[in-house]
């Protein structure tokens, strides 16, 4: 099985102007992370440094560095002498992560109501409205991505980097699960209803209500995804 003579990340990088100041390291991390999230690298798969490097058009050295980075994030596991393996998350892992995310988003809701500027909140409203358009037209993928963006945005509103960071790492672990979790119409509608309340509580700067609905939203998320694991 020959490695597809594909598109080189390095060329991408060199092609960019001075605007995209990201390093090749970050590009590889982002690319491999996406491959894991989108299932191109299935959980449990042993990552072959030669093949993957060839596919991405980079040598093993920067690829290995990226894998260590992802290992620290918890997306891959390192087994000494046997390289990196795409981490498998059990149903319990997912549930546990959602419990923690519930607590983190609960805290974020409280802080966001205190810290956010009116402009910040309008920005979230814009994302929300856009997401609702995607719901109206039943465009799953854009809806999914906007959904993620809204949650990340609320985390950023807290202006608490540590909070945004830990939320981000847990979120990344679950992104794949949510990505595949295509819930039915009634569950989707319930999720949308949650989001209506989220934006409403945020605009009212009702810390308790926002905190509560975000935590409950996480619990309901578990109900939605538990069968697709």
Q: Does 48 bind DNA (CB under 7 A)?
A: yes
As a residue count, the chain comes to: 229
CB 113 within 8 A of CB 202: yes
The yes or no reply on residue 59 touching DNA (CB under 7 A) is yes
Minimum CB separation of residue 17 from DNA in Å reads 13
Task: Give which of 43, 41, 36, 40 is closest to 229, Cα–Cα.
Answer: 43
Taking the C-alpha atoms of 137, 140, 142 and 147 in order, what is their torsion angle to the nearest 10 degrees? Answer: 110
> Measured from the CB of residue 149, what is the shortest distance to a copy of itself in angstroms?
21
Nearer to a copy of itself, 170 or 216 (CB): 170
Given a copy of itself, DNA, none, residue 82, with its beta carbon under 5 to 8 Å by kind, binds: DNA
Other beta carbons within 10 angstroms of residue 7's beta carbon come to 10
> What strands lie across the sheet with 46-47, from one edge to the other?
46-47, 84-86, 76-78
Answer yes or no whether residue 177 interacts with DNA by CB under 7 A.
Answer: no
Q: How far apart are CA 59 and CA 50, in angstroms?
A: 8
Contact between 59 and a copy of itself by CB under 8 A: the answer reads no
Q: Is 170 in the site for a copy of itself (CB under 8 A)?
A: yes
153 contact, one of DNA, a copy of itself, none, CB 5-8 Å limit per kind: none
Shortest reach from residue 20's CB to DNA, in Å: 13
Interaction between residue 22 and DNA (CB under 7 A):
no
- Of 113-142, binders to DNA (CB under 7 A) are none
209 binds DNA (CB under 7 A): no
Q: Which residues are CB-neighbours of 208 under 8 A, at least 6 positions away?
A: 110
**What gap in Å lies between CA 156 and CA 164, rounded to an integer?**
6
Contacts to a copy of itself by CB under 8 A: 21-23, 25, 61, 64-66, 68-74, 78, 80-81, 93, 96-97, 99-100, 103-104, 106-107, 111, 160-163, 165-166, 169-170, 173
């Amino acid at each position: 099985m020959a490695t597809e003579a594909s598109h080189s990340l390095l060329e991408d990088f060199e092609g960019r102007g001075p605007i995209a100041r990201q390093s090749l390291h970050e590009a590889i991390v982002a690319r491999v992370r996406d491959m894991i999230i989108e299932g191109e690298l299935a959980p449990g798969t042993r990552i072959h440094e030669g093949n993957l490097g060839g596919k991405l058009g980079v040598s093993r050295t920067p690829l290995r560095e990226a894998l260590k980075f992802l290992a620290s994030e918890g997306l891959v596991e390192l087994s000494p002498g046997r390289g990196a393996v795409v981490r498998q998350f059990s149903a319990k892992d997912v549930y546990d992560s959602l419990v923690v995310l519930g607590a983190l988003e609960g805290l974020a809701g409280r802080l966001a109501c205190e810290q956010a500027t009116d402009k910040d909140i309008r920005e979230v409203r814009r994302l929300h409205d856009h997401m609702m358009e995607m719901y109206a037209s039943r465009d799953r993928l854009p809806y999914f991505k906007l959904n993620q963006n809204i949650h990340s945005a609320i985390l950023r509103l807290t202006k608490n980097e540590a909070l945004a960071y830990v939320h981000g790492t847990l979120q990344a672990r679950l992104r794949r699960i949510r990505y595949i979790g295509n819930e039915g119409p009634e569950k989707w509608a319930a999720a949308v209803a949650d989001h209506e309340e989220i934006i409403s509580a945020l605009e009212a700067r009702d810390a308790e209500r926002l905190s509560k609905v975000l935590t409950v939203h996480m619990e309901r998320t578990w109900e939605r995804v538990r069968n697709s694991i």
